[in-house]
Structure 1
Amino acid sequence: MDISLLVIVAGVLVGLSVGLTGMGGGALMTPIMVLVFGVNPTAAVGSDLTASVAMKPVGAVVHHRAGTVRWDLVRWLLPTAIPAGFAGAWLISLLGDGKAVQDGLKLIIGAALLLAVVGMFARIILSRRRGTATTDGPTRIKPVPALLIGVVGGLIVGVTSVGSGSLIIVLLMLTHPRLRANELVGTDLVQAIPLVASAALGHWIFGDTQLALAGTVLLGAIPGIYVGAKLSARAPESILRWALAVLLLGSGMALWDVPGVVTLLACAALVGIAVAAHFIGRAGDREPVGLTGDDDAAEREPRPVATSRSAADGTAEAEPQPAATGTSTPTS
């Protein structure tokens, strides 16, 4: 089979993951390029970032229209995230293009994937804590933590192409626990567009981007995102998230050249955790436990939350509660 057709198929699978779960762009495409198609890690990172520039706006537009983007937070993330993303690409170029550099970057990408898995579990814990915490007060933006998140997230994305969604959202949850789930997702998607574009530009300038490869990926990814978004309301998203976590764990360990038996055992253990979580959820008469807690519904169906006045002063007004009546109002 022609290699281009296989790349398109891989793009479709990655696009479906992004459309269904909101995750899986760089975290899936980069290891696929390295492990399946034998692309050098530096070229894989640059090509994936280039493709992501066209993929990220799809979800961002939805959240912008729904009013679930905290533009006041975006303004504090971007001043450091944009230069940090470019700097990550520049740092890679300083190391050269030898075998030692490629092997080292391969290990770094693997570490980023394993960190993404840890981040997915962190979102479970943080989402449950958020569920028991009060959310009535104003949501104030913290400029210094936001600037630091931009630096850390930008560098990781610029070096590995991983983390613009999974890792940055966890950091936002830690520093801004009062933000609603749909605000977290919408804000992250919007800030990721210039961040990824800056990192992609850096990789393109320093000559480690294969534009033809990125374009071929997009041929499959764009329709995959569209179909995934259409199916997201009916798909068993919690199961898909666990499957994605298993893929990330296996890919990260493979990039680290961990023996196959150990990798299989680790993935099997994660599958066991997923099955246990599923039955615990059923025993508690609730939805199966997913890897993002309450964030799943927010990513699929964002709802307007902020007013123009709240965006201006950095606070989120509490939504008015309908007066109690004898009949209930159906929810969508």
Structure 2
Amino acid sequence: MTSLIDSGALQVLVVAFGIGIVVGLTGMGGGALMTPALIFLGIPPTSAVANDLVAAAINKSAGAAVHLRHGSPNRVLVKWLVLGSVPMALLGSWLVTAIGGEEDQQKFLKVAIGCALLLTAATYAMRMYFELARGIEDDPNAPDPRVHPLPTFAIGALGGLLVGITSVGSGSLIMVSLLLLYPALSAVRLVGTDLVQAIPLVIAAAIGHVLSSGVDWSVLIPLIVGGTPGTLLGARLASLVSQSIVRRGIVMVLTLTGLGMLKIPPVWVGILGAAMVILGPVGWGLLRQAHGVPAFEHRPFPLREKSSRVSRND
């Protein structure tokens, strides 16, 4: 019981709360940020992946229930995605255990997670661009496009394998792939579909990793206790914070973290980080202008009405 309240568990709780805020603000970044954060806190990669998947399965269920209740997900798309993703998620977790000894597994996971983070950063950037390109024309009442079973099954299989190995990708790779395959699908249906299909995917991956690595309660409980209120707070703050800025920050963090996991020399990581900080906003502003919107997003805080204490004669 003391392990649940030691300094290590407190660090996990604080990190989970902070990442939960990011997830609540943007709807993205959960596994892609949490798994490497746990590894940097000194938790073995196998344990970080297993516990993050279990926590994600619990935290995502509430959001999926909301989307199911309001009918936003495309159930046919969900069916084909799940048929592809669940078996491959189980296969991915088995591949990790089949590599060899624990030391070999840790080395493999660090490289795999580093590559997954770079892929996720690229897909996040693509998602931001696609949302910018089609944002004005998005119609939540538009009819659903015709479903292509085999390509959708393949998207689920690829995403399931990535999540099964690294716990990263359920909300990024699959989302962008669906954007490419179904550009006419409305944003609310797209988010609902992605969130609902992620539940069986994450549960399958979690089962595979838990069977091989077990559950570390001193990691899992702080993940849930910190992540849930953080997500709720982030959702409340979403209307006050520019999601564009936060998402660009996520892309930068994922890129630099992925390079760090791949043992790229820190000096080159620093140079790239400085270039992204300086040139990133300029490039994004030019893209926004090319699509007919202002280069920089202005989101002023709403002004409150004058207090009743002010006299009408003033």
TM-score band by shorter chain is 0.7 to 0.9
The answer to whether structure 1 residue 161 and structure 2 residue 167 are counterparts is: yes
The answer to whether structure 1 residue 39 and structure 2 residue 47 are counterparts is: no
Q: What is the match of residue 190 of structure 2?
A: 184
Alpha-carbon spacing, 1:183–1:152, altered in 2? closer, same or farther (3 Å): same
* Cα offset, 1:107, TM superposition: 0.7
Alpha-carbon spacing, 1:134–1:255, altered in 2? closer, same or farther (3 Å): closer
Deviation readout 1:110-160 (Å, 9 max, x if unpaired): 000000111012224433554698987751111111111111000000000
Are the aligned partners of 1:42 and 1:208 in contact in 2 as well (CA < 8 Å)?
no
CA distance, structure 1, for counterparts of residue 37 and residue 189 of structure 2: 30
Are the aligned partners of 2:56 and 2:202 in contact in 1 as well (CA < 8 Å)?
yes
How do 1:232-251 residues align onto structure 2 when only pairs under 5 Å count?
232-251=238-257
How do 1:138-287 residues align onto structure 2 when only pairs under 5 Å count?
139-277=145-283, 279-280=285-286, 281=288, 285-286=293-294
Q: What is the match of residue 105 of structure 1?
A: 109
Q: What is the match of residue 5 of structure 1?
A: 10
Alpha-carbon spacing, 1:233–1:58, altered in 2? closer, same or farther (3 Å): farther
Are the aligned partners of 2:46 and 2:213 in contact in 1 as well (CA < 8 Å)?
no
Q: What is the match of residue 52 of structure 2?
A: 48
Structure 1: 4+ residue segments shifted above 6 A: 132-137
Are the aligned partners of 1:277 and 1:288 in contact in 2 as well (CA < 8 Å)?
no
Of 21, 24, 29 in structure 2, the residue corresponding to residue 24 of structure 1 is 29
* Cα offset, 1:101, TM superposition: 2.6
Percent of matched pairs sharing the same residue: 40
* Cα offset, 1:64, TM superposition: 2.7
SS of match in other structure, 1:139: coil
- Residues matched between the structures, number: 289
Structure 2 unmatched ranges of 5 or more: 1-5, 298-314
Are the aligned partners of 1:31 and 1:251 in contact in 2 as well (CA < 8 Å)?
yes
SS of match in other structure, 2:95: helix
**Letter paired with 2:189:** E
SS of match in other structure, 2:213: coil
Are the aligned partners of 2:125 and 2:248 in contact in 1 as well (CA < 8 Å)?
no
Alpha-carbon spacing, 1:268–1:93, altered in 2? closer, same or farther (3 Å): same
* Cα offset, 1:282, TM superposition: 7.5
Q: What is the match of residue 74 of structure 2?
A: 70
Please give the TM-score of this superposition, normalised by the length of structure 1.
0.80
CA distance, structure 2, for counterparts of residue 171 and residue 273 of structure 1: 27
* Cα offset, 1:277, TM superposition: 4.3
* Cα offset, 1:197, TM superposition: 0.5
Q: What is the match of residue 86 of structure 1?
A: 90
Alpha-carbon spacing, 1:138–1:247, altered in 2? closer, same or farther (3 Å): closer
